[in-house]
């Protein structure tokens, strides 16, 4: 028996990646739904975190959420 997934595939308008998680709301316009990673990047950028550090933080998030 096949199990259907209720999770919809969405494409992030910023990075173009497919994602399944609940979307983030872009801080740029307050209405565009974006992938969680781009949402995290926008949030970190808004407080002055550099790009390299943003990637380290996102990688850490991925490492810890995969183990759940």
Q: What is the mean pLDDT of the chain?
A: 90
Enter the tokens of residue 48.
């002055």
Cα torsion 65, 56, 40, 20: sign: negative
Taking 3-state DSSP, the helix, strand and coil percentages for the chain, each rounded to the nearest 5, stand at 40, 10, 50
Which band of pLDDT confidence, cut at 50, 70 and 90, is reported for residue 65? Answer: confident
Total-model pTM:
0.81
Identify the pLDDT of residue 8.
78
């Amino acid at each position: 028996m096949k199990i259907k997934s209720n999770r919809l595939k969405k494409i992030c308008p910023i990075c173009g990646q497919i994602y399944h998680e609940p979307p983030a709301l872009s801080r740029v316009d307050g209405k565009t739904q974006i992938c969680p990673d781009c949402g995290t990047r926008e949030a970190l950028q808004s407080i002055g975190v550099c790009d390299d550090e943003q990637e380290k933080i996102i990688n850490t998030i991925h490492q810890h959420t995969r183990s759940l």
